Amino acid sequence: MKTVTAGILVIGDEVLSGRTQDANTQVLAKALGAVGVQLRESRAIADDAPTIIAAVREMRDRFDYVFTSGGIGPTHDDITAEAVGAAFDAHTGIRDDARALLDAHYGDRINEGRLRMARIPDGASLIDNPISIAPGFRIENVFVMAGVPKIFAAMLDGVVGTLEGGDTVGEVSIPSPRAEGELSAPLAEVDARHPAVSIGSYPRMRPEGGFAVTVVARSADREALAAAEADLRQMLAGLA
Amino acid sequence: MKTVTAGILVIGDEVLSGRTQDANTQVLAKALGAVGVQLRESRAIADDAPTIIAAVREMRDRFDYVFTSGGIGPTHDDITAEAVGAAFDAHTGIRDDARALLDAHYGDRINEGRLRMARIPDGASLIDNPISIAPGFRIENVFVMAGVPKIFAAMLDGVVGTLEGGDTVGEVSIPSPRAEGELSAPLAEVDARHPAVSIGSYPRMRPEGGFAVTVVARSADREALAAAEADLRQMLAGLA
């Protein structure tokens, strides 16, 4: 089994102030999962250079890939590009290839602010932005992308094919009308019988009151997953 | 100005697998903001004891308060209580006060799984759960709460009043029909004139295509915030 891991840094005060809810983690998790990359951490942090630099350094050592979202726009509070550059001790300045994209797109509407979006660390390669043109970039194992969800998703579309994934993890979801507390003993027994499968349970509130549960089994080993699923279904049917 | 900070650890595989989107960070950010506590980091991690222990240790040193959500239910994969206990080198076992709550609630439906929800580290105090009874707990500056959003919010209601907050941060949001790139130079000038105010801009896609922007100013200093708001409104009106 080959395990390839990733983390995401969600950069920007808007998630931490409660203004918005981060949507990029979920999109990334699903896209990475499909190509055999397991998302292991999602960390939302503020637009603060020392915080960004420390988090990038820590996560790029711990994970095979790191993604960032946010902070690469045209305004003074967009400091992600320089901060990621600094995390790699790389100089960040306006680069000709990125500038050419912006010049072609904006024509005479180009200005100093928009040129900020051509700031790319030395040694980085550009990530295509089919929606608003201003590129993201990849430097070593870190992918720096836009925060606006549609642009993040579009950049990701162009990037996932370039990743070297490992084994994909299969997932089986089985809803049950039982309360989670009635399942705990039999669920633990099934779990113990299938060491290659990760089995979890997620309670949910019913609209009409009370709780139901969804049992989720995950494994990169499809044979083991199928065996666990059969065992789980039998256990749940025996309770009903 | 007194600044009080917090972080949240969102514990559980369901956010990182993309099954669900974390909703607790936003609820926490708003509730803390109202009592003068600034959320500085939100970190989603898997149900993995060493990861939880390391993250709790790191965050409790960096922030005044740490909140966790998830992993305190009745099943084998609910390992948050022991992991947080271990982060404080505290023994975690079934505690009489928590057990009494569960016994009273479940009556003869109590079982071994449900008793797992009475596992509380030594030295912790209980957090009330008015919805499903199984308590959270506070140990030093760490608050361990449920992951189900309605229960998380109900536990939080009981907890916010016990926090020692600092200055609250005021926020002003001003939508503009302009593209972010047209605002960058004048916005940077306004920002430079108001060092006590944090000014950011958030692009959003219009349903009909193209981009608009929301300018957000934040400060604990209400006088400085009002001056920045007036300056921003004048700048934006001059562009329109």
Tell me the Cα Rg of chain B: 22
Structure tokens at B64: 């005044």
Judge contact between B90 and B123, C-beta under 8 A.
yes
Give DSSP secondary structure letters for B46-96.
Answer: -S-HHHHHHHHHHHHHHSSEEEEES--SSSTT--HHHHHHHHTT--EEE-H
Residue A107: count of CB within 10 angstroms of its CB: 8
**Which chain B residues touch A235 with a CB distance below 8 Å?**
none
What pairing do the DSSP bridges indicate for beta strands B38-45 and B5-11?
A: parallel
Judge contact between B155 and B128, C-beta under 8 A.
yes
End-to-end CA distance of chain B: 36
Q: Give the mean model confidence (pLDDT) for residues A152-175.
A: 97
Put simply, the answer to whether A23 touches B23 (Cβ < 8 Å) is no
- State the fold for domain A170-239: Alpha-Beta Plaits (3.30.70)
For chain B, domain boundaries? 5-160, 170-239
Q: Three-state DSSP class for B159? A: helix
The pLDDT tens digits for A27-82 are 999 999 999 999 999 999 999 999 999 999 999 999 999 999 999 999 999 999 99
User: Per-residue confidence at B1, pLDDT binned at 50, 70, 90?
Assistant: confident
User: Per-residue confidence at B239, pLDDT binned at 50, 70, 90?
Assistant: confident
Q: Give the mean model confidence (pLDDT) for residues B187-216.
A: 92
Mutate to test the interface with B, among A10, A17, A45, A204 (most CBs of B within 10 A): A17
- Report the half-sphere exposure of B204 (CA within 13 A, side-chain side): 14
Judge contact between B25 and A15, C-beta under 8 A.
yes
Let me know if the fold of A5-162 is the same as that of A170-239. no
Instruction: Quickly list H helices, chain A.
Output: 13-16, 24-34, 49-62, 80-87, 96-106, 112-115, 149-159, 180-193, 222-239
| Distance from C-alpha of B191 to C-alpha of B194, rounded to nearest angstrom | 5
Strand partners, A172: A217
Closest C-alpha to A14, from B62, B228, B29, B65 = B29
The distance from CA B198 to its chain's CA centroid, rounded to whole angstroms, is: 20
Put simply, the answer to whether A191 touches B106 (Cβ < 8 Å) is no
Residue B207 neighbours by CB under 8 Å, 6+ apart:
none
**Residue in B15, B173, B187 closest to A75 by CB:** B187
**Residue in A16, A148, A184 closest to B29 by CB:** A16
**Residue in B13, B106, B173 closest to A200 by CB:** B13
Higher pLDDT residue, A132 or B239?
A: A132
The pLDDT tens digits for A104-128 are 999 999 999 999 999 999 999 999 9
Q: What is the pLDDT of residue A207?
A: 82
- State the fold for domain B5-160: Molybdenum Cofactor Biosythetic Enzyme; Chain A (3.40.980)
Residue B233: count of CB within 10 angstroms of its CB: 14
Which residue carries 């349970």 as its tokens?
A201
Pick the CATH number of A5-162 from 3.30.450.20, 3.30.460.20, 3.90.950.20, 3.40.980.10: 3.40.980.10
Residue A2 neighbours by CB under 8 Å, 6+ apart:
A36, A166, A167
Q: What is the pLDDT of residue B174?
A: 96
- Stated pTM of the model: 0.96
| Distance from C-alpha of B28 to C-alpha of B153, rounded to nearest angstrom | 8
Structure tokens at B128: 């009330």
